[in-house]
């Protein structure tokens, strides 16, 4: 790491600019710059790996996998526990690194570090509970068994919006199950991934079990990870378009695949809702990480009889949000990740206003300039507008009125996506009906934040395949082997 790096942390060893393969920190002939999105300041020049290094990582992981799988579950659990404890102890430094390279407020970054660590704690414990089954035999003298064994080498591609937790919730169940792991982090945020590798090494994760491939050559490296025959499982979090491409590539070797893809989350506010509580939930769901999360509320569907009062209450709260550098105390919204991200938000807002949507607050770049965008509320949005069809990935609320329950459900489900949905109502019967009718993998009723390591996270339709977290999360990394054992007498 260059000595002039502006990241201020206690443990400078956590700042790495090399890749990590087979327990060795490796440089590369090429490097790429990592910048602070709030200031534009260069943070590091990081090794830019390619297919050769990626192939070496696959070979290292394949070589390490049998010995790792052969360890007892209790042994793997103990190592994961040490990794968890080291991450918690390094929370402040990891958060500072994350805010510097990703932009989210420091308080949010600290929260993500603990959230990410929680997956390591959870799956370290689940490692000891990957039970098999004994099936009653139809004949005497035979036993029928269903064993659960590790899939093998796992490869993952993770996004920039949660550069810590998106890695840990894939790596933790993989390692707990006895698999080895290779991750390609986003080029915007490789420093968080490399810091996790430092702590994994300190925790005693064996050589080749956890590998990090920093790169800007996503297509070339992705092809190795999806098509290499020694990689038996592939996990991706990102856009639906890219996920479809990667899934097709995985078909060449019939890999196990987990995909957590794009969303278009509806946030339903019914006429009997506690509007003040709905505003609090809306702020949490929409403006966390400046609206750059896959489970962010994308469409606010509000019953016509309360749409004006809800809009007024929400606009007051949104206008009061403090925007700035994530390192500044009191800031609750940082910058967007890039100029390209800001331009997308500008395009969507301009298209909506041209078709009759009304800017209640915000609606433009923030006075701070750069990649800062003002927290925005748009009223009078219609379902046909592009901003209601595409994932915004920015701090923009789009308010769409609905008439009744059937109208709300139809509008909410009118999308190819099905990741997360939210609904606010004080009617228990309505809450139950709505939760069942919404075509989404996750539903929050009177809750704006739903992610936890204790519950299965994932979508349906074009929002993905598989689940992360909960007891279901480790199943993604285990194969079931049926054994019929005869000749037992009787």
Mean pLDDT confidence for 211-220: 98
**Quick one: which of 191, 182, 236 has its CA closest to 213?**
182
Would you say 417 and 399 are in contact if contact means Cβ atoms under 8 Å apart?
Answer: no
Q: What is the average pLDDT value for the chain, to the nearest integer?
A: 97
Q: Which two tokens stand for residue 457?
A: 């996270």
Q: Which two tokens stand for residue 16?
A: 């790495």
The domain spans of the chain are: 12-261+464-481, 265-457
262: exposed, middle or buried (Cβ count in 10 Å: 0-12, 13-18, 19+): buried
Would you say 362 and 376 are in contact if contact means Cβ atoms under 8 Å apart?
Answer: yes
Q: Give residue 324's region: left, alpha or beta (phi > 0; psi -120 to 50).
A: left
Would you say 85 and 79 are in contact if contact means Cβ atoms under 8 Å apart?
Answer: no
Q: Where are the beta strands (DSSP E) in 3-119?
A: 19-21, 24-26, 31-35, 42-47
Confidence of residue 127 (pLDDT cuts 50, 70, 90): very high
Class of domain 12-261+464-481: alpha beta
Q: How many CA atoms lie within 13 A of 95 on its CB side?
A: 19
Confidence of residue 3 (pLDDT cuts 50, 70, 90): very low
Q: Which two tokens stand for residue 50?
A: 């390619």
141: exposed, middle or buried (Cβ count in 10 Å: 0-12, 13-18, 19+): exposed
Please tell me the predicted confidence (pLDDT) of residue 489. Answer: 85
Catalytic residue among 179, 294, 296, 361: 294
* First-residue to last-residue Cα distance in the chain: 68
Distance CA 470, CA 455 (A): 5
Distance CA 12, CA 433 (A): 53
pLDDT, one tens digit per residue, over 225-277 is: 999 999 999 999 999 999 999 999 999 999 999 999 999 999 999 999 999 99
Which CATH code for domain 265-457? 3.40.309.10
In the predicted structure, residue 298 carries a pLDDT above the cut 80: yes
294 is catalytic: yes
pLDDT, one tens digit per residue, over 372-383 is: 999 999 999 999
Q: How many helices (H) and strands (E) does the chain have?
A: 15, 22
Q: Buried (b) or exposed (e) across 364-403, using 16+ Cβ within 10 A? A: ebbeeebbbbbbbbbbbbebebebbbebbbbbbbbbbbbe
Mean pLDDT confidence for 139-150: 96
In the predicted structure, residue 4 carries a pLDDT above the cut 50: no
Catalytic residue among 108, 188, 260, 453: 260
Mean pLDDT confidence for 477-483: 98
Would you say 394 and 341 are in contact if contact means Cβ atoms under 8 Å apart?
Answer: yes
Return the C-alpha torsion angle 478, 480, 481, 485, nearest 10.
Answer: 130
Q: What is the pTM of this model?
A: 0.96
Please tell me the predicted confidence (pLDDT) of residue 7. Answer: 87
Please tell me the predicted confidence (pLDDT) of residue 162. Answer: 98
pLDDT, one tens digit per residue, over 414-447 is: 999 999 999 999 999 999 999 999 999 999 999 9
Axis-axis angle for helices 428-437, 405-413 (nearest 10)? 30
Q: Which two tokens stand for residue 206?
A: 């064996």
Confidence of residue 6 (pLDDT cuts 50, 70, 90): confident
Residue that has been written with the tokens 């098999």 in this structure: 132
Confidence of residue 180 (pLDDT cuts 50, 70, 90): very high
Confidence of residue 22 (pLDDT cuts 50, 70, 90): very high
**Quick one: which of 368, 378, 314, 380 has its CA closest to 342?**
368
Task: Please list the residues that pair with 302 across neighbouring strands.
Answer: 269, 401
For strands 19-21 and 143-150, give the pairing. unpaired
List CB contacts of 461: < 8 A, sequence separation 6 or more.
Answer: 416, 417, 418, 439
Q: Strand, helix or coil at 86? A: helix
Please tell me the predicted confidence (pLDDT) of residue 5. Answer: 60
112 is catalytic: no
pLDDT, one tens digit per residue, over 391-405 is: 999 999 999 999 999
Distance CA 260, CA 241 (A): 12
């Amino acid at each position: 790491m260059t000595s002039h790096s502006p990241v201020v942390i206690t443990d400078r060893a956590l700042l790495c600019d090399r890749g990590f393969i087979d327990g060795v920190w490796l440089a590369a002939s090429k490097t790429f710059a990592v910048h602070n999105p709030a200031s534009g300041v260069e943070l590091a020049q990081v090794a830019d790996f390619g297919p050769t290094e990626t192939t070496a990582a696959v070979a290292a992981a394949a070589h390490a996998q049998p010995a790792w799988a052969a360890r007892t579950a209790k042994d793997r659990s103990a190592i994961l526990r040490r990794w968890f404890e080291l991450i918690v102890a390094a929370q402040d430094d990891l958060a500072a690194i994350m805010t510097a390279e990703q932009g989210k407020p420091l308080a949010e970054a600290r929260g993500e570090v603990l959230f990410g660590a929680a997956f390591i704690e959870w799956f370290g414990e689940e490692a000891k509970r990957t039970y098999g089954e004994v099936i009653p035999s139809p004949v005497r003298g035979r036993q029928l068994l269903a064993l659960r064994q590790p899939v093998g080498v796992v490869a993952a591609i993770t996004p920039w919006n949660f550069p810590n937790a998106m890695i840990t919730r894939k790596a933790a169940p993989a390692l707990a199950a006895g698999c080895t792991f290779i991750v390609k982090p986003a080029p915007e945020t490789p420093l968080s991934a490399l810091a996790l590798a430092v702590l994994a090494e300190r925790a005693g994760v064996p050589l080749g079990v956890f590998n990090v491939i920093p790169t800007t050559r996503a297509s070339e490296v992705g092809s190795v990870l999806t098509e290499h025959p020694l990689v038996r499982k592939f996990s991706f979090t990102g856009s639906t378009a890219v996920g479809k491409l990667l899934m097709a590539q995985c078909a060449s070797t019939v890999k196990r695949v987990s995909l957590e893809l794009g969303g278009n989350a509806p946030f339903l506010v019914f006429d009997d809702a506690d509007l003040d509580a709905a505003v609090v939930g809306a702020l949490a769901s929409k403006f966390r990480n400046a609206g750059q999360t896959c489970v962010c509320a994308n469409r606010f569907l509000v019953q016509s009889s309360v749409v004006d009062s809800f809009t007024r209450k929400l606009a007051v709260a949104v206008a009061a949000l403090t925007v700035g550098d994530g390192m500044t105390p009191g800031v609750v919204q940082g910058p967007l990740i890039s100029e390209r991200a800001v331009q997308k938000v500008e395009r969507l807002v301009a298209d909506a206003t041209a078709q009759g949507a009304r800017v209640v607050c915000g609606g433009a770049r923030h006075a701070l300039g750069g990649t800062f965008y003002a927290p925005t509320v748009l009223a009078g949005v219609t379902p046909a507008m592009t901003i209601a069809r595409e994932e915004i990935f920015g701090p923009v609320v789009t308010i769409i009125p609905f008439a009744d329950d059937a109208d709300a459900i139809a509008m909410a489900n009118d999308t190819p996506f099905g990741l997360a949905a939210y609904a606010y109502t004080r009617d228990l019967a309505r809450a139950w009906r709505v939760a069942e009718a919404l075509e989404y993998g996750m539903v929050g009723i009177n809750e704006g934040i739903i992610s936890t390591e204790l519950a299965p996270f994932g979508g349906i339709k074009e929002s993905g395949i598989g689940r992360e977290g909960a007891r279901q999360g480790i199943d993604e990394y285990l194969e079931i082997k049926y054994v019929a054992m005869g000749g037992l007498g009787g």
